């Protein structure tokens, strides 16, 4: 497994977020991004997870709720990557994938766009 500290991995996630175009980040609403070491035992190879209500499903009822949560998992990402460059690329794909869920884009469309 590739070695990388939690802090280094968190920095890669922050850099991936910084590469999201400002016109998209301005539209993001009530969402927080976290790094965790491992996903649940139910899905040990999960790289990222979006939990919340996509923007496309929010209505006038949407008020006073906790932020949506995007989690990027360090362990599975490092296990699947052979180099730091691979980790950088995979983190970027994972961050874009999970943000796309925030915008209401489903897995089938993301796979078609190359963000599987």
d(CA 27, CA 48): 21
Contact present, 32 and 26 (Cβ < 8 Å)? no
Per-residue pLDDT at 75: 98
Measured distance between the N- and C-terminal CA atoms of the chain, rounded to whole angstroms:
22
Q: What is the pLDDT of residues 38-93, one digit of tens each?
A: 999 999 999 999 999 999 999 988 888 999 999 999 999 999 999 999 999 999 99
For 52: left if phi > 0, alpha if psi spans -120 to 50, otherwise beta; the answer is: left
């Amino acid at each position: 497994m590739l070695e990388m500290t939690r802090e280094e991995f968190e920095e890669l996630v922050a850099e991936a977020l910084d590469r999201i175009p400002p016109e998209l980040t301005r539209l993001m609403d009530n969402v927080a991004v976290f790094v965790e070491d491992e996903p649940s035992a139910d899905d040990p190879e999960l790289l990222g997870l979006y939990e919340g209500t996509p923007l496309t499903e929010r209505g006038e009822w949407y008020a006073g709720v906790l932020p949506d949560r995007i989690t990027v998992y360090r362990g599975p990402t490092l296990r699947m990557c052979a180099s730091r460059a691979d980790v950088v690329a995979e983190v970027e794909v994972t961050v874009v994938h999970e943000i796309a869920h925030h915008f209401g884009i489903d897995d089938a469309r993301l796979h078609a766009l190359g963000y599987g």
